[in-house]
Amino acid sequence: MEKNIFNRFYRQTLGSVAVMAALAFPVIIGVAGLGVDASVWMAKKQDLQTAADAGVIAAGWELATKSNDYMDYAAEKEAMANGYNPDANGNLTLAILTEEEDGSYTIGLTVSEDSEALFSRFFTDKKRISAYAEARVDGVDGNFCFLSLDRSADDAFTSFGSVDLSAPSCGIAVNSSSDQAFTLSGNVDVLVNNVRISGYYDVTGGAADFQYNSLKTNKAPIDDPYEDLEVPAHAECPKKAKALTVNSDTTLSPGLYCGGISISGNNDIVFEPGVYIIFGGSLKVTGGGTLSGEEVSIILTGEGNDYAQVDISGSRQINLTPPKEGDDFEGVAFFQDRNAPSAKNLQNKIVGTSGINIEGVLYFPSQGLWFGGDAGFAGGADPCTILIAKTITIAGNPSIGNNCDNVANRDIEIPDVTLIR
């Protein structure tokens, strides 16, 4: 009887279909589940690509600002904020792929993690998903002639008295985040190219005329291009050394000057080519006549509270050019030790009532610089005069420019990070 029942079932078409359906059903469900999971994996792939893009850009900015040790940390933090999950057997790999002679880099980042199979476990338990991104890191020359380094000061770039600054080829960069980081007031006429401020600016007074090509506020600070340059080794100086006094026609030679140099009277002073290290005191220049020197770099250093400063005033005609390319202080006319005390009242001054032509970089990272004069100051219509100081105060009617093709100065650059893949 049972045998007949099974035989009848075996011979029935419907029974055959039922068996085939039973066998095919798991496959159909698995394929359908695989389609659903594939959609999920594609969405996850897009999320990981976003994470990779964000991570490589974050790492690029760390590299651009010379914070190489934080590249991996920044990359992972940004990748996680954009969908990367390290707990899903995640892996993040960051590498510098190329380094060019111009200082640019290409970096690559890969992120991978596992995604569970929700409906297609018949075929696989999980899927490994990866995404890759590349970025290029460049330094962009902003044509800046002014860089104020202080990160928080009011009046980090400011004016004093009547000012007529015509520097249409020059930009101004101010690293202070203060709402009063850049201030102009009174009888001021300023014409410049690009202005970039980490904080904000204030221009007051009906006589103030401030013209620029572009002005950007609340921007990231710009790196100090000379932060790695150090005072050269030199012999020790005796305590309380007296300054060298010069009041007649004199030719000075490179070397160490303990206690400073004081130049006065109506005379002609020549600096021979080379590096002049002034330890303590000041380079004080007054009177008339001339002061000239080719391929000259003046280093201001010291110890304790006695670090050399520069104080130039009077009506003396001054013409100085910096060392040429290949020298240790190429392109640098004045360099003040960054260990110099940084109180607000400590100001270096280069002002005058006659023509002053100082080419190259004037670098005062720990103290302020007052810079100004009358017509003809700083080399005529388009010199190469770059001011980098803790704070900068402009006076008089200086003519500033960045016509630096023949001067080996370092550019003041804005880092730029671009996603390229």
Domain boundaries, the chain: 2-140, 144-413
Angstrom distances, CA of residue 242 to CA of 120, 237, 280, 308, 338? 88, 10, 9, 13, 23
CA distance linking residue 392 with residue 204, whole number of Å: 18
Contact (Cβ atoms closer than 8 angstroms) between residue 120 and residue 390: no
Predicted local confidence at residue 400, as pLDDT: 77
Predicted local confidence at residue 380, as pLDDT: 47
Predicted local confidence at residue 16, as pLDDT: 57
Length of the chain: 421
Contact (Cβ atoms closer than 8 angstroms) between residue 225 and residue 201: no
CA distance linking residue 384 with residue 406, whole number of Å: 9
Q: What is the mean pLDDT of each run of 10 residues along the chain (421 residues)?
A: 56 55 51 61 87 95 85 95 92 93 87 75 70 89 90 95 85 96 91 92 86 90 93 93 96 97 97 98 95 97 96 90 93 97 92 82 97 58 86 84 86 86 84
Residue pointed to by tokens 């990367």: 84
pTM attached to this predicted model: 0.75
For residue 374, the one-letter residue type is D
Predicted local confidence at residue 377, as pLDDT: 46
The DSSP line for 114-180 is EEE-SS-TTT-SEEEEEEEEEEEEEEEE--EEEEE--SS-TTSEEEEEEEEEEETT-EEEE---STT
Burial of 132 (0-12, 13-18, 19+ CB in 10 A): middle
CA distance linking residue 332 with residue 357, whole number of Å: 14
> How do 347-350 and 171-174 pair as beta strands?
unpaired
